[in-house]
Amino acid sequence: MRLLTHFLIYALLALAPSTASARWIEARSPNFVVYSDGGEESLRRSVQLLEDYDRLLRTLTGTTAPPSASPLKVYLVSSAARLNQVEPVPNGVLGFYRARLGGTAAFAVRGDRPGVGGEEVLMHEYAHHFAMRYYPAYYPAWYSEGFAEYVMTARFAGDRIEVGRYNAGRAITLLRDTWLPVDRIFSGQLGGLSREQTGQFYAESWLIVHYLFADEAHRNALTRYFADLHRGVAETQAFHTAFGTDHQGFEAELKRYMAGRIAYSVMARPAVANIAITVRPLSPAADDLLLPLAALMIGIPQPEREAATFATIKTAAARYPDDPYAQRVLARAEIGSGDRAAGTAIIDRLLQSAPNDAELLYFRGLGDFYTGRKDAAMRIEKFAAARPWFARAAVADPGYYTAIYRLAQTAPANGSAVPKETLTQLTTALALAPLVGDIAVDAATALMASHQYAAAEQALIPIASNPHGGNVERARAILASIHQSNRQD
């Protein structure tokens, strides 16, 4: 079974810090934009690892599609405390991934750590990102998480790649003898799991995928199982037909497999590709402002945290009054949380030096958009004012999915019909960001209005099957209405 542009120029010429003296460094490669608060050599190694990993996933899945026009942003930080500058995380969490309207990004503590290391968390999340970008389909939770766990421990050593190694933390979990019944895993009845049970679910999901991938007959059975599920066959029947046993029998076999010698796979490592990696230092102000800006972009749902982040940005930006980067971040914060007119004025000044900067153009349109969204009496006027800025941002950066989506949101009303241009904008944004719930739901709704039900269903599946994302219930409700209509037809 086959498994699953110009870069933005910040106006820093007056400062021009050297790579050695700047705390935050940015690296760009075909698939990633990576920020690190470590050294350049370490950053280059991390980017090369990510590109190697992307190539491994392409090899395993037979993917030939070119890199997306919207590279994944990755933030590599020195500590879990840094992660908390973006979003509060529980103790022991060393990374997370967010696909939001303001941006899609992964955050991880640099280097390896005991248990699930920061790099392995990053690999796990990128496996999800890759699968849903190139193969948007419904996968049971155990398979989606088990596959990500299976590939996240890949090791690239010399002329070989090792795939399917165990993670030490997951292995310890399996040996604790606190088994989560396999029938519960396969049935998808995962609500109400404790933190310990959740860890057990991830560990067992890895073991299930490892067991199934280790044998060709098992892989073929897995293919038949998925095919039956997609045809609407009941899970227990599909399972018995594919594997020739019930859940209890499979669980016994799985435990025997765990008690044996679990081998990993070894494959030849292709010659290291000559991947273009462009590295540049960021402004010294980024040490205070890069992560607060990232928090704003992925969204801060708690009003008190948003207010605190805004205050942090204002205080930090005051220390860098002549730094264009600091002024950019301050402008974005003012537009979203403070004095919108003041923020817009800052952007107008910055655009004089960087008239084709996609992010600045988007921020400029955002001022009018937020005003129009809040005030119905001014909506038509302000949306019309925002549209040219979003259009220029999308031209400057064709991968800027948020700007493209805002173009669709600010389209003039046209009764109940969805204009062709608006539908194109929604589906373009969706292709660039298939895991952003707002975009998927709006694109699916527009596709349904155009009687493109299969495409609408395809848009919603990644959202409906993602327990960690937003708009899950909305996506599932719309999917149910599509299935109901199909049954009636």
* CATH number, domain containing residue 61: 3.40.30.160
Give the count of domains, the chain. 3
Q: What is the pLDDT of residue 469?
A: 65
Q: Which residues pair with 104 in a beta bridge?
A: 99
Whether residues 27 and 127 share a domain: the answer is yes
Whether residues 129 and 170 share a domain: the answer is no
Determine the structural domain holding residue 473 and report its residue range.
436-489
Average pLDDT score over residue span 119-143: 88
Whether residues 115 and 32 share a domain: the answer is yes
Domain membership flag for residue 390: no
Provide the b/e sequence for 238-249 (b: ≥16 CB within 10 Å).
bbbebbeeebee
Q: What percent of the chain has pLDDT over 90?
A: 68
Whether residues 49 and 101 share a domain: the answer is yes
Domain membership flag for residue 287: no
> Tens digit of pLDDT for each residue in 443-469?
999 999 999 999 999 999 888 877 666
Whether residues 39 and 129 share a domain: the answer is yes
Whether residues 35 and 125 share a domain: the answer is yes
Q: What percent of the chain has pLDDT over 70?
A: 92
Whether residues 76 and 111 share a domain: the answer is yes
Q: What is the pLDDT of residue 468?
A: 64
Average pLDDT score over residue span 220-229: 93
Q: What is the pLDDT of residue 138?
A: 78
- Contact assessment for residue 246 and residue 229, using Cβ atoms and an 8 Å cutoff: no
Q: What is the pLDDT of residue 10?
A: 26
Tokens of 304: 């008190």
Q: What is the pLDDT of residue 488?
A: 58
Whether residues 236 and 176 share a domain: the answer is yes
Domain membership flag for residue 399: no
250, 282, 314 - which closes a domain: 282
Domain membership flag for residue 377: no
263, 292, 327 - which closes a domain: 263
Per-chain mean pLDDT for the chain: 89
Average pLDDT score over residue span 325-334: 98
Domain membership flag for residue 442: yes
pLDDT(2) > 50:
no
Domain membership flag for residue 114: yes
Q: What is the pLDDT of residue 437?
A: 94
263, 290, 312 - which closes a domain: 263
Domain membership flag for residue 297: no
pLDDT(314) > 90:
yes
> What 3-state DSSP class applies to 35?
strand
Domain membership flag for residue 328: no
Whether residues 115 and 171 share a domain: the answer is no
Whether residues 47 and 131 share a domain: the answer is yes
Whether residues 225 and 116 share a domain: the answer is no
Q: What is the pLDDT of residue 3?
A: 35
Tokens of 200: 């057990």
Q: What is the pLDDT of residue 489?
A: 56
Q: Tokens 């409700």 — which residue? A: 477
> Tens digit of pLDDT for each residue in 7-40?
222 222 223 333 334 489 999 999 999 999 988 9
Tell me, what DSSP letter sits at residue 91?
Answer: T
Whether residues 28 and 122 share a domain: the answer is yes
* Per-residue confidence band for 339, with pLDDT thresholds at 50, 70 and 90: very high
d(CA 282, CA 180): 47
Q: What is the pLDDT of residue 22?
A: 46
> Tens digit of pLDDT for each residue in 234-259?
999 999 999 999 999 999 999 999 99
Q: Nearest Cα to 23, choosing from 290, 295, 319, 276?
A: 290
Q: What is the pLDDT of residue 467?
A: 62
Least confident of 110-119, 138-147, 408-417, 472-481: 110-119
Half-sphere exposure of 328 (CA within 13 A, CB side): 28
Average pLDDT score over residue span 421-448: 96
